[in-house]
């Protein structure tokens, strides 16, 4: 049994499959998820687990070279917007229209669905390498 880090076996297995340039989508409870990516649904109740908690937990285990979020997050969800700015200082964060972000989800290798119930709490992470 794992002692620390991400204990969810499905999420841990999904992370182990990732390589350089693979993408991981961390999304809120409302984002439509297309068929294709491996999905780990962590949503329990509205707000649990939060986008912030899941994203910070993933960042402890992943090497991320870039992130992409919906431009609409700036006005609609200041808390999540500030979180992304803290974790991904410029120029590591790209902002695109929400419809474009949704279109990119089909290419994600892994999707992690949170219980977040605030709008636009979604980010696409591009995996890097530790060297």
Q: Please tell me the distance from the alpha carbon of residue 17 to that of residue 111, in angstroms, as a whole number.
A: 13
- Which residues define the annotated binding site for substrate? 28, 98, 120-122
Mark whether 10 is an active-site residue: no
SS3 content of the chain, % helix, strand, coil (to 5): 30, 25, 45
Active-site residue identified among 7, 9, 13, 20: 20
- Which residues define the annotated binding site? 28, 98, 120-122
Q: What is the DSSP string of 26-85?
A: EE-TTS---SSSEEEE---BTTBS-HHHHHHHHHTT--EEEEEEETTHHHH-HHHHHHHH
The catalytic site residues sit at 20
């Amino acid at each position: 049994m794992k002692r620390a880090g991400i204990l969810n076996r499905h999420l841990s297995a999904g992370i182990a499959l990732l390589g350089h340039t693979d993408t991981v989508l961390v999304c809120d409870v409302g984002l439509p998820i297309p068929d294709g990516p491996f999905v780990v649904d962590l949503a329990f109740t509205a707000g649990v687990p939060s986008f912030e908690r899941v994203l910070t937990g993933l960042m402890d285990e992943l090497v991320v070279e870039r992130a992409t979020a919906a431009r609409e997050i700036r006005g609609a969800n200041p808390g999540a917007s500030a979180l992304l700015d803290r974790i991904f200082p410029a120029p590591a964060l790209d902002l695109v229209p929400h419809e474009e972000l949704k279109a990119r989800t089909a290419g994600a290798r892994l999707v992690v669905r949170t219980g977040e119930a605030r709008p636009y709490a979604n980010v696409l992470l591009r995996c890097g390498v530790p060297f």
